[in-house]
Copies of this chain bind each other. A is one copy, B any other.
């Protein structure tokens, strides 16, 4: 295990790489996306700007590196044996990730920037949204495999109904996503007459 150096001919400095990612993270949390600058990162990481430009194309590129590592690690897929339990578990993990982790802060910044920049949108799709969607579908797939739900079930629609309201609260209305809210979403997804509860037609 060789120690990393400041300038050598053995490849990039791991020391610098980590310092840059941490500086970017810290600056994002402290000052917000618009005031994260390459110069600011370089200064805080005690690194030359050129070292950043050598390995990353932009500040969003740095943030993606900070995001990906954490996102994968965050989610576990404990199989609780039934759909309700698995969905509840999963959605709680999702909400925790989006609202209570450093990676969630990064994700939110990138999701914001994706609205401005098609390149960011594309990479966010590839690096986060798409794998995340696979994670979102997993409980349903397991339920199908188990025979708990029909093979014909429209899982994509079910996922949209389930996670859509969560992202909506996080990005748009800034309302907290409480356990009861998650439960209501799950209830609808699993119930025979799903989601009927709150707003159902009065029987005549």
Contact = CB atoms under 8 A, between A and B. Distances in A.
Interface of A: 32-34, 83, 108-109, 111-118, 121, 125, 129, 133, 140, 147-150, 153-155, 157-158, 160-161, 163-169, 171-174, 181, 184-185, 188-203
Contacts of A196: 191-196
Nearest to A133: B173
Given A149-B199, A193-B196, A199-B153, A125 B188 contact: no
Given A115-B171, A172-B111, A192-B193, A198 B164 contact: no
20 contacts: A32-B118, A34-B116, A108-B115, A111-B172, A113-B116, A115-B171, A129-B173, A148-B202, A154-B197, A157-B181, A160-B165, A160-B168, A160-B181, A161-B185, A163-B168, A167-B167, A190-B199, A191-B193, A194-B200, A195-B196
Contacts of A115: 33, 108-109, 111-113, 115, 171
Contacts of A168: 160, 163-165, 167-168
Given A111-B171, A150-B199, 5 more contacts: A112-B112, A147-B202, A161-B165, A164-B167, A194-B194
